Each structure stands twice: as structure tokens, then as C-alpha cells.
Structure 1
Amino acid sequence: MKDQLHISEQVCFPVYALAKEIINQYRPLLEALELTYPQYLVMLVLWEHEAQTVNQLGDKLKLDSGTLTPLLKRMETKAFVTRIRSTIDERIVNISLTEKGVALKEKAACIPKQLMEAMNVSAEDLLILKNIITKITKK
């Protein structure tokens, strides 16, 4: 009988290693855009939804406001986003893209294809992987 406590028997380790590898593959592509991987995730949400509150971003990205706030401040310094406190409820901070942030989408359009090429996988392979991951992570 196999020992289930061997690292080679674990599902978590290759998933962990894959996550690190994907982020490492993104790094040089994103450096050209002056983005970190978490900032890229924020941009993906904003390119899709235009404006979001910090809480909405946190829900979508599974990040808390303590992580998001400094990240968003750095993005504001780079003029990719604006952070505007709500006049109705000062606890709410609205995040919007600047013109520079909107323009960055065009420069980022090639990243998914470049990533697939760097990892030597097809769109079909990634879709299968994404579907399995989504099945596991859905609550």
C-alpha cells in the first residue's frame, strides 16, 4: 500500500508548484507593463467591469482590503487607477481606471497567448485545467 504522506502522492504540491510557475511566467510579461501579478488581476477585473469598490474587488479576487489598499495605492501612483472615497458613505472607496489604465488593456492583449506559448500548452489544455480547478474551488 502506498504511503499517502509522501509528497509524490499529494495533489496539493503540484498545484502549488504550478501556481508558482504560472506567476513566474507572467513576471517578465507584466514587468513590461509595470504591473505585478496581483495588480494585473485588479486590471483584469477593472477592464471587465470598469469601476468597482475595494470590497467588490476583494470579493472577486479573494483578497482582503488590507492587501488591496496598498496595492491600489501603488497603482494610483502609477496613474493606472483612481481611488475616490464615496460621498454617501466614506467607508466605501471606488476604484476606476484612468485613461492610462484603459490604454494598458491594448498592451496586455497579447499576454494570454504569450503565456500559453511560454508554458507550451494549448488553449484546450488550459480550459480543461480551469474547469477542474473551478469544480474544486466552487463553494
Structure 2
Amino acid sequence: MSRRYLVWSLCYAALGMGLGIYMAASHEHGQLVTHAHVLLVGFVLSLVYGVIHRLWLDAPRRALAMTQFVLHQLSAIVLLAGLFLLYGGKAGEETLEPLLGIGSIGVLLGMLLMLYMVVRAGSSRSAEPGAASRAAV
């Protein structure tokens, strides 16, 4: 899962940087909020999730980890598409509110699933023999 998150995070980074370069070149900064969300929700959060998988989640339940991954990516895409349409003037706020709400809640639920996996992994590690000596390192 860490590699999947890494690849997706780098895609979001390229997209966010591309949008930033476009805004700078065109002197049109209307997508600033979208740009920030692509980089934070897309790039940074996906990268953080990848690091968590690499460093703290030895063997999460595959179905749970995949659910969290898909939920985060789909929700991020929905949120970012909604912001792009909103700040691009393609649709009104009243039309996009449900889309933005679904995306936002999905990102939050993805975070809560990651929190659950981290807490679950931490409690299972503390129950393992020799966990006290590993925790001190």
C-alpha cells in the first residue's frame, strides 16, 4: 500500500504544480483554493498515508487497507473536481455543495479509518513478546 500511496501522491504533486504554474503564467489565480487542496489533500495526505503504511502498519487487514485507500482517493478526486468546477465558475455553489460535502466527508472517513488501523496496529504490537524492548528503540 505504501507504494500505491507514493505513486498517487506524486501524481497529485505534479497536478498541483501544473495548476500553480498555469495560474502564474496566466495571472489568473482563481483556482488557488483548488491548487492548495490538490497539494494538501492529494499530495501531502497521500504521502503521509504511504509513510504510515511503510513505518507503522506491518500487516493491516487487506480489505480494510484497500477500503481506506479507495475511499481516500475517490473522495479526494470528488472534492478536487468539485472545487475545480466551483472556482472555475463552471457550476454554482448550490449545485456543487452535495459533491463537496460527499468528498469532504469521504476524506474525513478515510482519515478515521487510518486512525483505526494505526491504533489497532499499536495495540497488537504492544501485545507481542518483546514489544517493550522494540518500543524503547
Task: Answer yes or no: same fold by TM over 0.5.
Answer: no
The alignment's TM-score, normalised by the length of structure 2, stands at: 0.29
Tell me which protein shows more helix as a share of its residues: 2
The alignment's TM-score, normalised by the length of structure 1, stands at: 0.29
